[in-house]
Structure 1
Amino acid sequence: MASTLFAANTTIKLHRHDLPPDVDLGPVVAIDTETMGLDPRRDRLCLVQLSAGDGTAHCVQIIPESLGGRGADCPNLKALLARPDVVKLFHFARFDVAILRAALGVECAPVRCTKVAAKLVRTFTERHGLKDLCRELLGVDISKQQQSSDWGAAELTPEQLAYAASDVLHLHALWDRLEALLRREGRLELAEACFRFLPTRGALDLMGYDEPDIFAH
């Protein structure tokens, strides 16, 4: 079942349980997740947002079987996430790849992360959040008002869906700007090495190696 919301030159499509089989998001797909909290070992995955960077966001609501849903039975979504020929573009991929592995049993690769890219080239600032990057690099203001809302609700509000969509609609443009900076500063190869490691970093987090960090002294 799907519903469509139109807002501010964007189209938001809500799909319950799985991505439709006929959706083609191209060779690079922007992805984000909404969960019940920030611990991927504990907190439930509620929503997966995807965009081809064309002004349309597809939001897949993951509903557990205990609440009348299908849980991790989302074969179309999982197939896309696992495709080796599709680049998955995230902001703070470390969390997203971990929660997708924990909830859906799928490893996302290859990946790119705009937060990692920003930290590699924007060393003159500590502002690496998506809201800051969109404003400073794209001139776009996105709202974070719904960030702490209840994503496990059976019915998501238009405001929640608009917020969720905003987290993926600008990632392609943001990556274009950051990739140019990485090339300018000679750090693209270093960034690519970091991106290749991110699925492993997520797996380590799920095993409890976020604290203590095995890379710490």
Structure 2
Amino acid sequence: MSKTLFTPGGTVHLHAHDLPDGLSLGPVVAVDTETMGLDPRRDRLCLVQLSSGDGAAHLVQFVPEALGGRGFGAAHNLSRLLSAPDVIKLFHFARFDVAALHNALGITVAPVRCTKVASKLVRTYTDRHGLKDLCRDLLGVEISKQQQTSDWGAAELTPEQCAYAASDVLHLHALWARLEALLRREGRLELALACCDFLPVRGKLDLLGYDEPDLFAH
């Protein structure tokens, strides 16, 4: 079951439990998740947002069986896309998202790119690396975070939640393009890509409890 919403930020397609058959989102797909909290081991995955960078977003909502849904077992198309080796998955703070997706769907999400990692490597003149900061500073776009702490586990999402969720992926292609150019200019692109290649492993370590204390700490 799918439905389409038209928001000020772009077109939003909301799907239940999986992407529709035959949908192609191209070689680089922006991805984000919404969960019940900030611990990928504990907090349920509720929503996966995707965009091909064309101004439209596809949202896959997972409703638990207790609320009349089907859980995660039906997400075959989504799982194939997220684990496809020839499709780059573009995130902001990929470390959390790849862990949440691995925990819920049992897949390794790769290859990945992360705008937060890129920003921290090249925008060393600031400590503001949030998505809202990057959109404002690099693209001149203001996005709202008003719905960030809303209830993503509800059986029915509001139009405001859908618009907010879409905004988290609609600008990632443009952000990565700006950051990639800066990384090339500063000679740090190879380092950024190596860090991104490690993020699926970092997410699995987090799921095993090696986030605190950090496995790489003294």
TM-score normalised by structure 1 residue count: 0.99
Question: Bigger shift: 60-69 or 172-181?
Answer: 60-69
CA deviations on 1:164-217 (whole Å, 9 max, x unpaired) are 000000000000000000000000000011011000000000000000001112
Q: Which residue of 1 aligns with 2:165?
A: 164
Q: Which residue of 2 aligns with 1:48?
A: 48
Q: Which residue of 2 aligns with 1:140?
A: 141
CA deviations on 1:52-90 (whole Å, 9 max, x unpaired) are 000000000011223221211210110101100000000
Q: Is the 8 A contact 2:9 2:167 kept in 1?
A: no
**Matches of 1:72 and 1:17, distance apart in 2:** 7
SS for the counterpart of 1:84 is coil
Alpha-carbon deviation of 1:9? 5.3
Q: Percent identity?
A: 77
Does residue 196 of the first structure (1) align with residue 171 of the second (2)? Answer: no
Q: Which residue of 2 aligns with 1:101?
A: 102
**Matches of 1:65 and 1:7, distance apart in 2:** 29
Unaligned runs of 5+ in 1: none
CA RMSD of aligned residues (A): 0.7
**Matches of 1:120 and 1:105, distance apart in 2:** 30
SS for the counterpart of 1:59 is strand
- The equivalences for 1:114-133 within 5 A come to 114-133=115-134
Counterpart amino acid of residue 155 in structure 2 = A
Counterpart amino acid of residue 213 in structure 2 = P
Counterpart amino acid of residue 76 in structure 2 = P
**Matches of 1:37 and 1:66, distance apart in 2:** 19
**Matches of 1:104 and 1:41, distance apart in 2:** 12
Q: Which residue of 1 aligns with 2:4?
A: 4
**Matches of 1:70 and 1:56, distance apart in 2:** 25
Q: Which residue of 1 aligns with 2:30?
A: 30
Counterpart amino acid of residue 50 in structure 1 = L
CA deviations on 1:97-150 (whole Å, 9 max, x unpaired) are 000000010110000000000000000000000000000000000000000000
Counterpart amino acid of residue 87 in structure 2 = V
Q: Is the 8 A contact 2:82 2:110 kept in 1?
A: yes
**Matches of 1:208 and 1:134, distance apart in 2:** 32
Counterpart amino acid of residue 188 in structure 1 = L
**Matches of 2:67 and 2:211, distance apart in 1:** 31
**Matches of 1:49 and 1:190, distance apart in 2:** 27
Count of residues in Structure 1 that have an aligned counterpart in Structure 2: 217
Q: Which residue of 2 aligns with 1:111?
A: 112
Structure 1 segments (4+ residues) deviating >3 Å? none
Unaligned runs of 5+ in 2: none
Q: Which residue of 1 aligns with 2:18?
A: 18
Q: Which residue of 2 aligns with 1:66?
A: 66
Label 1:130 to 1:9 Cα distance change in 2 as closer, same or farther (>3 A): closer
